Structure 1
Amino acid sequence: MGKKTRNRAAATATAGENPRRPCPCGSGKRYKACHGAGDDVIVVRPFEGLAAEPDLVAMREFLPSATAALPVRAGGPVTLASVLPGASAALVRDDGQVLLGMQVQTRSGDLSTDLAGALAWARSAEPGSSLPVVGPDRRTSERLQDVLEPDTPLEPTVHADFAWWLPGGEPDPEAAAMLERANSVIMPTEAVTGPGVRGAYWVDAGSKAHLRWVRTEDETTLMAALARLSDQDGLELGEGSRYAGSFRAHGLLVPVWDLDREMHSSEWVGPAVAFAKRLDEAVAGLAEKPLTDGEHRAREVLAGKQITLR
């Protein structure tokens, strides 16, 4: 077993003995037609150990147009983006600015390695160039955990459109058409932040609004705490909200609430802060008091509202 594989063993999962089952990477393909085609190891939680983990997951999975300064340990500044023109893995602007894309196509089993590979390419690339995808020839032994400040979170800026793709000047007709197409599919999104609240985002999906909240707790612990709150009628965010379920993304659980679309995103800050306090208390109480029969039943109901994205 190679060193790279050994180092990842504790954070990986494979498809077992059945090559016909869905690939654990979430592509929707059968394992034998995806990562089972080679010896790549699938890292289920690629950003584990980084304070930036919840926002990395959000930028990868559901933030439409967002940028953030990447807290690199060395080298010049790097901007992380939810998506770049052409879904590129990286690009270097004419002025030398480096941008990395989160929402990219990849066959690798470790998104952290892919991002580190894209960064390594960008630091040696010529201004005005772009990297469509991180192929095997661009991957290195480094991961994001090797190049980022581990205790520094991201501070994403959520944009209303993709105008930041083409800074300065009037775009030519082709670029203007590209922007118009990209902007037409954006769902209005805002960060919901406050004491104890991180990785939570309000989104207007058209017919209703949602709050999606990336949590970093162990799934077993988080589900038990949510079940306790549910049994106590404390799972909602308040009037105009309904707990809809949760999805798994890159090893983390993301609870989702349906919200009253008429209420502004800022009106959910207070309820989110209050819920975060209730959840912390529920988590702390699990060590002293195991789940009751009613809470176990509530957990089974919540488990039936889960899906896996990655």
Structure 2
Amino acid sequence: MAKKSRTKARDLKVGAAPLAEGEVGPRQPCPCGSGKRYKACHGAPGGAATAYVGRPFEGLPSECDIVALRELVPAATAPLTLKDGDRTVVLCSLLPMAAPAMVRDSGEVWLGLQVQHSFGDPSRDLGAVLTAALEQAERGESGIVGLTTDPGPGPRLQDLVTGDSLDLTVHEGFEYWVADVEDQAGMEAALEQANASVHPTAKLTSVPAAYWTNVGTKEHLRWVMPEPEDQLLDALSRLHAAGKDVLVPDSRLVGMFRAHGLLAPVWDLPVGTGPEALEEPAAAFAADLAEALADTSDLTTEQRSARSGLANRQVTIR
């Protein structure tokens, strides 16, 4: 028996239930980002102090936008409302030096999303960092707040903030890093280097959590959706088979990202499309998608074929 077959036989033991879509197998990379296999990391008994959470941002205001800011959007900010206290807290896609949090000289707390702690529950990590930053601010101390060890049990971000939605601002670059700094001498080079990595990005206004971006040779629409994976794949398959997933001429639904328990379909767009041209088609697609989501009939042969193609074009980020 070939080595590949032996490996497959070990993994598919008699009587073992097949993996559900989105579930992590024991020999697959751990979604926490540690680089280890799941069975040697968060899948090991006692292997991690904090259990791995597949959908860590569920229940937060604008969950889909938070996932987009963490994984897809280079420069964006949104104020957070604390359940207790009135200190200004700003959620940022990325902070200088990829800091987990900063207490500014003004006493504001800035919380960074694009930090990979690999402790299993990003919301718990954010809660620990935010708690430490608030304590530091109360002491009147400014500067960076980090997280170097597994925080263990404690409040998650959902326990600390409130609200129904985020008032999100997408920035052209990272000038917001220094907007409240009077003396910016010596910061120009670092800011220029950071801005060089930013692709133009815009948030659509007609639908939630959909982001256009221009990467130079192509334009894309990346749309984070909250529906359960199986249900969403069925609905997208129905629309694809009916030819209703073309947003603008020559655009194409090319696949999707899976991140933090949510799917983000991705469209390739012709260069020169821009975000404005997507507003009306995206709204129409959202209406068609809602109708397809409500359809519980069995998929046709053509729709099942479309579903298989979409499922094979998924890339798991986290």
Distance 1:32 1:190, change over 3 A: same
Deviation at 1:67, TM superposition (A): 0.4
Q: Does 1:171 find its partner at 2:184?
A: yes
Please tell me whether residue 81 in structure 1 is matched to residue 89 in structure 2.
Answer: no
Say which of 135, 160, 181 aligns to 1:147.
160
User: In 1, are the aligned partners of 2:52 and 2:121 still within 8 Å (CA)?
Assistant: yes
Aligned length: 289
* Deviation digits for residues 198-222 of structure 1 (CA, Å, limit 9, x no counterpart): 0100011110000000000000000
TM-score (norm 2): 0.85
Question: Does the CA-based 8 Å contact 1:116-1:140 persist in structure 2?
Answer: no
TM-score by length of 1: 0.87
- Structure 2 counterparts to residues 242-261 of structure 1, below 5 A: 242-261=252-271
In 1, the alpha carbon distance for the partners of 2:64 and 2:91 equals 14
* Cα contact 1:95–1:127 (8 A) shared by 2: no
SS at match of 2:82: coil
Q: Which whole-Å CA distance do the structure 2 matches of 1:212 and 1:272 have between them?
A: 11
Pairwise CA distance, 1:38: 3.0
Give 1:156 deviation, angstroms.
1.5
Q: 2:104 touches 2:143 (CA, 8 Å); kept in 1?
A: yes
In the TM superposition, residue 23 of structure 1 has moved relative to its aligned partner by 1.1
Question: What percentage of aligned pairs have identical amino acids?
Answer: 45
2:266 and 2:278 map into 1 onto residues whose CA distance is: 13
Q: 1:170 to 1:68 in 2, by over 3 A?
A: same
Q: Residue 267 of structure 2 aligns to a residue in which SS?
A: strand
Pair 1:25 & 2:32 matched: yes
Moved more, 70-79 or 82-91: 70-79
Structure 1 residue 207 corresponds to structure 2 residue 217 = yes
Q: Please give the alpha-carbon distance, in whole angstroms, between the structure 1 residues aligned to 2:208 and 2:242.
A: 24
Distance (Å, rounded) in 2 between the aligned partners of 1:94 and 1:135: 26
Q: Which residue number in structure 2 is paired with residue 108 of structure 1?
A: 119
1:117 matched to 2:128: yes
- In the alignment, the residues of structure 2 paired with residue 259 and residue 249 of structure 1 have an alpha-carbon distance, to the nearest angstrom, of 22
What residue identity is the alignment partner of 2:32?
Answer: C
Partner of 1:270: 280
1:215-260, CA deviations, whole angstroms, 9 ceiling, x for partnerless residues?
Answer: 0000000000000001101111121311110010000000000112
Residues 70-106 of structure 1: CA deviation (Å, up to 9, x unaligned):
1322222210000001111110001101100000130
Q: Distance in 1 between matches of 2:268 and 2:23?
A: 33
- Residue 301 of structure 1, aligned match among 298, 309, 314: 309
2:290, 2:32 → 1: CA distance? 30
Worse-superposed segment, 246-255 or 123-132: 123-132
Task: Give how far 1:50 is off.
Answer: 2.6
1-side partners of 2:110 and 2:203: how far apart? 21
Q: CA deviation at 1:61?
A: 0.2
Instruction: Report if aligned partners of 2:49, 2:152 keep a CA contact under 8 Å in 1.
Output: no
Answer yes or no: is the 8 Å Cα contact 2:33–2:118 preserved in 1.
Answer: no
2:171 pairs, out of 159, 168, 186, with 159
1:65 and 2:75 are equivalent in the alignment: yes
Equivalence map 1:218-233=2 (5 Å): 218-233=228-243
Q: Which amino acid aligns with 1:291?
A: L
Matched residue, 2:15: none
Instruction: Give the AA of the match of 1:156.
Output: L
Structure 2: gaps (5+ residues): 1-21
2:166 match: secondary structure:
coil
Distance (whole Å) between structure 1 residues aligned to residue 276 and residue 182 of structure 2: 33
The answer on whether the counterparts of 2:101 and 2:130 sit within 8 Å (CA) in structure 1 is yes
Amino acid in the other structure paired with 1:172: A
Match of 1:47 in 2: 57
Query: Any conservation in 1 of the 2:34–2:118 contact (CA below 8 Å)?
Result: no
Residues 1:132 and 1:160: Cα distance change in structure 2 (over 3 Å)? same
Point out the structure with max Rg over C-alpha.
Answer: 2
